[in-house]
Structure 1
Amino acid sequence: MRSINVAGKEIFIVQSHNQVLEAWRDSPGINVFSLDYHTDTKTAFHNYSYWRADSEIKSGRCGNHEERLYELTEEKISQYLDGQININQVNDNLKHDEHLDFAVRTDMVNIVFVLSTNRNASSSNPNVYIADGPEEYGHQRIIEFSPQCVPGCSKKTHGNECLGLRADSSIEDSFLLDAVSHAESFKSSFFENYILDIDCDYFNTEKSLHPENFEIFKRMVRNSRMITIALEPECVKICRHEGSGLTSEIVLNRLISIIEEIS
């Protein structure tokens, strides 16, 4: 992780998204507003625990994969809370889509609101609530909000045209206003104390980095306690739209330029 100060705003930059925990750990009780292509809401240590349990079953050391997976996950979280392992050791066994669950389960942060492109129909993680989904809100601390198009679109099905329009509008006022309203509907004081978290793969077109009206994004930058940016270079290449030449460095440099202009 490296940090830079842009016009008085502290920005922490990491390669893999889970590494933002190094910055978040010093801000207990803070909320997180995350811009991401993916939801990143998998259960903490799922990959590590799954394969460890699988290995133990094959060697005859345990008999129930699901139970052992749960035990291994709880063990890792307890080790961190008890001070037996540090955040770097946590990240050694944490994937880049498992950090949000870890952050709320250890009370590193309070509520996480994820504005994502990728849309999940359901989640097996009990800590996750899918906004606009069929279930009622049960005070989960991770909220996924994944609109398929920009507000006001009347189409019943959203094809490539909608995907392009949504991508181009990533930080336009018309798009962010709806997300901000949703976040505040779950916690009215959400934006009184928050981290602005950005995964570079959230931006999929060149136009998305050159918005026409982005007063809401400016306000989010100004009022955030800090900004964390995950480069995720391979994800940027995978998620960018056809014909786009975006890279994580292009996105990062443009974001820094925008923040400099805002501040």
Structure 2
Amino acid sequence: MRQVQNPDVKSENICGKPVFTFDSHHEALLPWAECALAVGDAPRPRLLTLDYHSDTRPAFITHSTVDIANAMDDEGWEERAAAEVAKIDVHEVETVRDAVVNLRFDEHISAAVQSRIIDIAFAIVGGLITNEYQSNEQNAAETEWSERHKHTPWVPKPKAPPPYTYSIPKERIIELPRQKVSSSDQPRSKGYADQALESDFLRRHLEFIEAITQSAGVPGLFEAPFILDIDLDYFNTRQSIQPANHDIFHELIRRAEIITIAREPKCVTDLQKPGEKLSSEWLEAELKRHISEALSALPIKSL
């Protein structure tokens, strides 16, 4: 794969795997576009992203409501944003670079999906999940409940019983639900953060992705090229990037078409748990050590 010629994106080959590193996550659009161009449309690449934030804001929403719109009048921002998306042509790298200039925080996944650089994005989120993916049955139950809730506000939100079916949402972005770990390790706790790369933790996410794709009648994650995307702010503890069992993570590294790494140094500093002494430089070195080890060893088992 040819390298992205851009001063903000560092590209290197680690044991035969293309790895791209950059400071701001929205710059990922450049190597994602390169990957999409290389693999073609049959099928387009998927995205598996590991991030503290969900990064699923609509593409160009900030540019369209702050940089362009007059005063506080935001009417028409959706049309302006759609026009920006329409300018992106995976065959013309300058259009992708122009898009990166106008994208802001958390808008890159939406831009990639809308411009058909990415087919479907699956997000494993360490922090707040803004739009947690649910089954068709749960969505139907909550829709019915919300209608009745207007007249009976005391009725609690229902939990739909299994079996469950799944569909690919129109946004084609799936924020995976939290995994249940030990009762003492609640979401966003240090104990939960420590699980970030543990094989059991990742396996449950991957099994849910498989359930979604099978039910929705689309190819599984590993039946199409996929990009492994990692924001270093996903790691909030030292143990989070030094798992006791890294087998599944190393298999993801081996199977990925490319790997993209967002340093996001300020977020790393701000989001780490007390006393962890993390830096984006140290996390980047640890992550690249994982990549080298994974690609230097034979796979232990299939996912």
Query: Structure 1 length normalisation: TM-score?
Result: 0.85
Please tell me whether the aligned partners of residues 39 and 97 of structure 1 are also in contact (alpha carbons under 8 angstroms). yes
- The match for 1:125 is none
Alpha-carbon distance, 1:102 to partner: 0.5
| Aligned twin of 1:97 | 106
More moved, 227-236 vs 73-82: 73-82
Residues 1:219 and 2:251 aligned together? yes
Among 20, 31, 34, the residue aligned to 2:49: 34
Bigger Rg over Cα? 2
CA contact (8 A) 1:131 1:143 kept: no
Please show how residues 37-52 of structure 1 align to structure 2 within 5 Å: 37-52=52-67
* C-alpha distance in 1 between matches for 2:19 and 2:253: 10
Match of 2:291 in 1: 259
- 1:52 Cα deviation (Å)? 3.5
Determine if contact 1:117/1:148 at 8 Å carries over to the other structure: no
Task: Report the identity percentage.
Answer: 31
> 2:94, 2:241 → 1: CA distance?
39
Aligned residues: 245
Aligned match of 1:239 in 255, 260, 271? 271
Alignment map for 1:202-217 (pairs within 5 Å): 202-217=234-249
Alignment partners' CA distance in 2, 1:77 and 1:15: 23
Q: Does 1:70 align with 2:78?
A: yes
Partner SS for 2:88? helix
Cα separation, 2, equivalents of 1:69 and 1:120: 24
Q: Tell me the distance in 1 between the aligned counterparts of 2:134 and 2:209.
A: 10
Matched, 1:106 2:135: no
Unaligned runs of 5+ in 1: 59-63, 123-128
- Seen in structure 2, the aligned counterparts of structure 1 residues 12 and 39 have a Cα distance that, compared at 3 Å, is same
Shift of residue 159, structure 1, vs aligned partner: 4.5
Aligned to 1:177: 203
Question: Which amino acid in 2 is paired with 1:139?
Answer: I
Contact 1:131 1:144 in 2 (8 A): no
Amino acid at match of 1:77: V
Q: How far has the Cα of 1:165 moved from its partner? A: 1.6
Q: Deviation at 1:135?
A: 2.4
SS of the aligned residue for 2:281 comes to: helix
1:135 and 2:150 correspond? no
Q: Choose 27-36 or 80-89, whichever is displaced more.
A: 80-89
CA contact (8 A) 2:135 2:167 kept: no
| 1:168 is the counterpart of 2:194 | yes
Is the 8 Å Cα contact of residues 48 and 228 (structure 2) preserved in structure 1?
A: yes
SS of 1:228's equivalent in the other structure is strand
Unmatched 5+ residue regions in structure 2? 1-8, 37-43, 141-165, 214-218, 296-303
Any idea what the Cα deviations from partners look like across 1:107-161, whole Å, max 9, x if unmatched?
A: 0011100000123354xxxxxx6247942655221000141642xx457xx648x
RMSD over aligned CA atoms reads: 2.4
